[in-house]
Amino acid sequence: MTTPPTTPAPKPTRRELLGLSTAAAGAWATFSLQSAMGADGQEPVRTAVIGTGGRGSDLIRSLTTIEGCDLVAIADNYPPHLEKAAKFAGPQAKLYSDYRRLLEEVKPAAVVVAVPLYLHYRVAGDAIAAGVDVFCEKTMCYTVDEAQKLADQVAAAKRVFQVGLQRRANPIYQQAAAMVQAGVLGQITAVKAQWHRNNNWRRPVPVAKGAADWSRLERKLNWRLYRDYSGGLMTELGSHQLDVVNWMFGDIPRKVTATGGVDYWRDGREVCDNVFCIYEYELPPLAGPRPDPNAAAASTNGTPESSLKPYTVRVTYSSLCNNAYEGAAELIMGTKGTLYLTSGKGLFYREKLADDVGWSAKKTADGGGADASVVTSGKTLKLSNSPWAHRGEPLEIDNLLGDDTRDELVSFLDHVRRGDPATICDAREGLRDTATVLTANRAIDEGTSLAVPRV
Amino acid sequence: MPVVVERARPAMGSLFQLRLIGDDAEHLADCAETALDEIERVERLLSWRDVRSETARVNREAATRPVLVDFEFAQFLATIKGAEKATAGFFDAAVQSRRAIVGADELWEIEAEHRLVRFTRSGVRLDFGAVGKGYALDCAAAELRRFGVSQALLDAGTSSVLALGADEFGNPWPVGLRNPFTARPELRGTWPLELGQLRLGDLALSCSASHDAATSSGAESDLLDPATGRPVTQASAYAVVATNGIAAEVLSTALCAMGTVRAEAYTKEESNQLLRDVVAIVRLDAGDDASAAPCVTPLLLRRSGVLV
């Protein structure tokens, strides 16, 4: 009798230790968090947050729950936001009104940038220049030009950079992307996405309207509504959803036709309160990796050229501030099925196809299988012609993991630790997303269709 | 004439309704939306049903290792643990686990200094359903104050209310106490719907009933007895007015679980930390037939004018 060879227990990955996987947690009952040391005894990642408004505070709260993250400092030039965020950040975090002083004095290993859009380039660029890894909220930059420069700067500096497009960290979207890639939906032919809400998208200003400071504070706190600071609905909401499309298609659109305006909330805002876009993507005939250009010559023998020609997929996108009926969702439509995606739930509906004939249902074990068909005299069964009646029960895709904002930060810090620039949404992806949404804004302004720059 | 702005949004399985008083309708509307956003944030933090919540993360992981939580949640958990102690366990955030787990005292621990939560065994589930609305109201009120709103009524469905300042007539906000047992068939039509009125200014109110219209005719109570994990059997209802929503919610729930005799004795405990936040405790008595009318019995009244 031979003793079976003993296999050493697999070493847990840092992903598991950082909390991405709970499956291995049982083995780590004795793992002490109190040392505040990072996973596998490494120094914790010294992290700072720049911009501590609403989103910045959410990110701070998430960071303070991640083992191996040492939140060393936060910065904001608006004292009420800084004071409020200080409570979420904890007493160990130093407070700064000037982010450049923070970078200089604290020398964090990583910063999370959650300032208004028009400052992304400046703050993220300064951080990269200071040798710091950066997590930058979406949209990556205020202009395509800035995004291009920042992506180049990140590449040259070889820093870890991640854009806060957290659907990439969401298990529902990851599952959906895998389904699209595997061809479960057949050939993708259309996408319909929207973010519809019914509110004025304003934040309260803490001084009365007549006060001398009102106008300054209104523009500072409601920066999303003013064109000097924001790209409005496209950069604040659309960027998430068009990134989903870019990600799943592995490409950016060629062209966009868009229109929008300030038609309901006429309260002095400068950005549209409703936008409608049609994007045109060019995809290879089946969803999946784009065909290898070197293989094209070989495949001409026998394959009709038309079947290799890229085809156009049109993506409609709208965002409203005065009707919330459809909420925020993406509908990815393919010849074999439809994916309905939201952050909390995914649904997959199989298409009823003409060749989906239910012959087998008529065949029975007791010899009925011998008949080509079986009829029953009497009234004909009445079925609705409406396609809605035949969608069947959807396959449900649930989020079983947790919060995608926390998970995207866990992933980012893991990449920082490992010095791995291949984050779930790197600067190049951020640049593509920026070009996608900003070209729509330009098309709205110019009242025309525009080519999306090939970035 | 002051401006009144009303906004409502479903959250935590209830409809939150806000009534704000001030002089700038646009500002009040912005503040109301911000307060409702804050309520949504608290729901995202506390709801065990939402896999994305911190509660769900703790429930998933805390039996196998200590879970690091953020500063706010650690503070909240420490408050809840304090409330469990101050009510001798009659308020129990892990009460849902008690049916299966017999004989274990502490099911969960919070080490506030290190922000670590751990369960003492598997099978524990924290559920803040009994206090969530009160905490959400506290947080929403803090947001309103931050933006200079000093008069508002925040109503979380039919059981929890927080009043800021005075109503549009300059009086404390009047809140009616409806008889929770009115739907009992034998009493229907006999007694008035409203048993009394509270006048609230900068105070929170929570009502709990072990048995209500739906459950009084035989169905089980949805309130559980922490000793057994089984539904409370004795019908009782309490309204608690306190300086904060959490204290009001904790006490109204715990009193129902205690049963009437123990509850009455509890309200007399002089050194009880939790009772210091309380302004009034009233018991709502169902009445049993035509000779015993349903009524409101004050068990603790620290401020005159609160109960009318």
Q: What are the tens digits of pLDDT across the range A142-167?
A: 999 999 999 999 999 999 999 999 99
Q: Positive or negative CA dihedral for A223, A226, A229, A232?
A: positive
Q: What is the pLDDT of residues A101-137, one digit of tens each?
A: 999 999 999 999 999 999 999 999 999 999 999 999 9
pLDDT of residue A369: 58
Domain with CATH 3.40.50.720 in chain A: 35-168
Q: Are B226 and B255 in contact (CB under 8 A)?
A: no
Superfamily of domain A171-292+307-353+391-401+427-451: Dihydrodipicolinate Reductase; domain 2 (3.30.360.10)
Rg of chain A taking only CA atoms, in angstroms? 26
Neighbours of A283 (CB within 10 A): 18
> For residue A45, which amino acid is it?
V
Q: What are the extents of the domains in chain B? A: 54-119, 172-301
* Closest Cα in chain B, distance from residue A123 (Å): 26
pLDDT of residue B236: 84
Rounded Cα distance between A71 and A93, Å, is 6
B25 touches chain A (CB under 8 A): no
**Tell me, which fold does domain A35-168 have in CATH?**
Rossmann fold (3.40.50)
Give B214's pLDDT tier (boundaries 50, 70, 90): low
The 3-state DSSP class for residue B118 equals: strand
Q: Directed axis angle between helix B245-258 and helix B132-146, to 10°?
A: 160
Residue A426 pLDDT greater than 80, yes or no: yes
3-state SS, one letter per residue, for A169-224: HCHHHHHHHHHHHCCCCCCEEEEEEEEECCCCCCCCCCCCCCCCCHHHHHHHHCHH
Residue A31 pLDDT greater than 50, yes or no: no
Which chain A residues have a beta carbon less than 8 Å from that of B27?
204-205, 208-209
Work out the percent of chain A whose per-residue pLDDT is above 70: 81
Phi, psi of A237 (to 5 degrees): -120, -50
DSSP B105: S
Q: Which residue, among B123, B124, B95, has the nearest Cα to B254 in the 3D structure?
A: B95
Which chain A residues have a beta carbon less than 8 Å from that of B60?
22, 402
Rounded Cα distance between B276 and B273, Å, is 6
* Closest Cα in chain A, distance from residue B70 (Å): 5
How many helices (H) does chain B have, and how many strands (E)? 6, 15
Between CA B24 and CA B273, with CA B155 as vertex, the angle to 5 degrees is: 115
Phi, psi of A311 (to 5 degrees): -115, 165
Residue identified by tokens 């949805």 is: B222
Query: Which structure tokens are listed for A184?
Result: 């479960």
Q: Do A206 and B24 touch (CB under 8 A)?
A: no
Please enumerate, as own/partner, the contacts of A169-172 that have beta carbons within 8 Å and a separation of 24 or more: A169/A404, A169/A405, A169/A407, A169/A408, A169/A411, A169/A424, A170/A343, A170/A399, A170/A404, A170/A407, A171/A399, A171/A400, A171/A401, A172/A341, A172/A342, A172/A343, A172/A344, A172/A345, A172/A346, A172/A397, A172/A398, A172/A399
Q: Provide mean pLDDT across the span A302-316.
A: 78
Strands B160-164 and B151-156: antiparallel
Give A316's pLDDT tier (boundaries 50, 70, 90): very high
* Closest Cα in chain B, distance from residue A141 (Å): 27
ipTM: 0.89
Nearest CA in chain B to A68: B68
CA atoms within 13 A on the CB side of A7: 3
Q: What is the pLDDT of residues A216-243, one digit of tens each?
A: 999 999 999 999 999 999 999 999 999 9
Q: Provide mean pLDDT across the span B203-227.
A: 75
Query: Which structure tokens are listed for B194?
Result: 């409203």
pLDDT of residue A188: 94
B61 touches chain A (CB under 8 A): yes
Which chain B residues have a beta carbon less than 8 Å from that of A197?
none
Residue A374 pLDDT greater than 80, yes or no: no
Query: Which structure tokens are listed for A278?
Result: 């049609």
Nearest CA in chain A to B29: A204
Q: What's domain B172-301's architecture?
A: Roll (3.10)
Q: Are A240 and A138 in contact (CB under 8 A)?
A: yes
Average pLDDT, chain A: 86
Query: Which structure tokens are listed for A46?
Result: 């010294």
* Closest Cα in chain A, distance from residue B146 (Å): 7
CB contacts under 8 A, B 128-167 vs A, are 146-148
Rounded Cα distance between B57 and B224, Å, is 24
Work out the percent of chain B whose per-residue pLDDT is above 70: 91
- Which residues, in sequence order, are CB contacts of B102 under 8 Å at separation 6+? none
* Closest Cα in chain A, distance from residue B26 (Å): 9
Q: Positive or negative CA dihedral for A55, A58, A64, A66?
A: negative
Q: How many residues does chain A have?
A: 455
Which chain B residues have a beta carbon less than 8 Å from that of A344?
50, 52
Rounded Cα distance between B99 and A72, Å, is 44
Q: Are A414 and A430 in contact (CB under 8 A)?
A: no
Q: Are A280 and A256 in contact (CB under 8 A)?
A: yes
Give B19's pLDDT tier (boundaries 50, 70, 90): very high
Q: Are A183 and A288 in contact (CB under 8 A)?
A: yes
Give A21's pLDDT tier (boundaries 50, 70, 90): very low
Which chain A residues have a beta carbon less than 8 Å from that of B30?
200, 202-205
The alpha carbon of residue B45 and the mean position of all alpha carbons in its chain are separated, in whole angstroms, by 17
pLDDT of residue A81: 97
Nearest CA in chain B to A89: B71
Q: What is the pLDDT of residues A63-77, one digit of tens each?
A: 999 999 999 999 999
pLDDT of residue A291: 46
pLDDT of residue B101: 78
pLDDT of residue A285: 74
Name the residue with higher pLDDT: A401 or A312: A312
Q: Are A287 and A181 in contact (CB under 8 A)?
A: yes
Q: Provide mean pLDDT across the span B154-181.
A: 92
Residue A361 pLDDT greater than 80, yes or no: no
Rounded Cα distance between B121 and B108, Å, is 8
Q: Do A209 and B24 touch (CB under 8 A)?
A: yes
Q: Are A36 and A66 in contact (CB under 8 A)?
A: no
Q: What is the pLDDT of residues B112-160, one digit of tens each?
A: 999 999 999 999 999 999 999 999 999 999 999 999 999 999 999 888 9
Q: What is the pLDDT of residues A431-448, one digit of tens each?
A: 999 999 999 999 999 999
Q: Are A434 and A140 in contact (CB under 8 A)?
A: yes
A34 touches chain B (CB under 8 A): yes
What is the number of CB-based contacts under 8 A between chain A and chain B? Answer: 84
Work out the percent of chain A whose per-residue pLDDT is above 90: 73
Give A402's pLDDT tier (boundaries 50, 70, 90): confident
Give B224's pLDDT tier (boundaries 50, 70, 90): confident
Rounded Cα distance between B25 and B43, Å, is 27
CA atoms within 13 A on the CB side of A152: 7
Rounded Cα distance between B283 and A187, Å, is 66
Rounded Cα distance between A289 and A424, Å, is 18
Which chain A residues have a beta carbon less than 8 Å from that of B147?
204-206
* Closest Cα in chain A, distance from residue B129 (Å): 20
pLDDT of residue B43: 97
Query: Which structure tokens are listed for B280?
Result: 């009034």
Residue B278 pLDDT greater than 50, yes or no: yes
Name the residue with higher pLDDT: A380 or A282: A282
pLDDT of residue A142: 98
Considering only CB atoms, A199 lies closest to which of B33, B52, B70, namely B33
Domain with CATH 3.30.360.10 in chain A: 171-292+307-353+391-401+427-451
